[in-house]
Amino acid sequence: MHKPIVKHTLNIFKFLTDKMPPLVPENFEQEAKEAYARCCENYDLSLPELENHIVLFGKGLWPYRKSFEEFYDIHENHLGDKFLLGVLPMELKKHYIEFKEYGGGFKELHHNSAVDFFSSDERNILYPSVMKIKEDIRRHTMQAVVTNDRYHYEKRIAWFQDILNDIEKRLDTLRLMADNEEDHPDLSEEIREQTKAFEQGLCLLGPAHHYNEICDAEEYFLGRKKDKKYSFV
């Protein structure tokens, strides 16, 4: 049996392999699913080994996930309220319209404002409906990005791939900085940990980081190195 933390991390790998966006190359999709299956069968698998598998495939999926998320958001903004109003009972529909008049909407239903606005009985009706509608919108988006939206979807994939290529170069630079930082091993470890955090943020293993934060990391650590140099003067 897998340790709890490994099992939790396997669930992230499962999510990535189950929820692959359209147009992911078939060979890549097959390799990812086979890697997930092998990890599930290996009860001696350590957490670092599993994370390495997820990072390998998670980074490859990142341009597709980011592009699909953009198109999903567009369709959710357009269809979420429409679909939800079509399934709510009349009294709850009226209350939901009132919620919208106060600045709420489909995306805000999981915020604290919705918890305060709707009763527990209303939320028990709303939330299952919201989850079903999200799946409906996902299926709608998957169809759209291989038909009407395909050209723009592919352009966004290519755009995010260019960003990923640049991120990879910047992470390689940070790794080299860490390897060359012989005088300050604590700074070297800090750089490695931040590089790992950036990488894992691409793969759902940690919080996502803004691209600008990754771009600024080299200058930040050069400043940290300078501070350490002069602290010994």
Tokens of 59: 């980074």
Distance CA 77, CA 95 (A): 20
Residue 21 belongs to some domain of the structure: no
Count the neighbouring beta carbons within 10 Å of the beta carbon of residue 27. 8
Given CA atoms 8, 11, 13, 15 in this order, what sign does their dihedral have?
Answer: negative
**212: Cβ contacts below 8 Å, ≥ 6 apart:** none
Residues 230 and 174 occupy one common structural domain: yes
Distance CA 21, CA 23 (A): 7
CA angle 100, 133, 143 (to 5 degrees): 120
Which of 88, 122, 144 is where one domain is finished? 144
Q: Does residue 15 contact residue 204 with C-beta atoms inside 8 Å?
A: yes
Residues 157 and 217 occupy one common structural domain: yes
Which of 144, 174, 193 is where one domain is finished? 144
Residues 228 and 180 occupy one common structural domain: yes
Residue 4 belongs to some domain of the structure: no
Q: Tokens 């189950």 identify what position?
A: 18
Residues 102 and 174 occupy one common structural domain: no
Domain with 133, as residue range(s), is 72-144
Residue 78 belongs to some domain of the structure: yes
Residues 133 and 184 occupy one common structural domain: no
Tokens of 176: 């080299």
Tens-level pLDDT at each residue, the chain (233 residues): 777 888 999 999 999 999 899 999 999 999 999 999 999 999 899 999 999 999 999 999 999 999 999 999 999 999 999 999 999 999 999 999 999 998 999 999 877 778 889 999 999 999 999 999 999 999 999 999 999 999 999 999 999 999 999 999 999 999 999 999 877 889 999 999 999 999 999 999 999 999 999 999 999 998 887 776 655 44
Which of 82, 116, 144 is where one domain is finished? 144
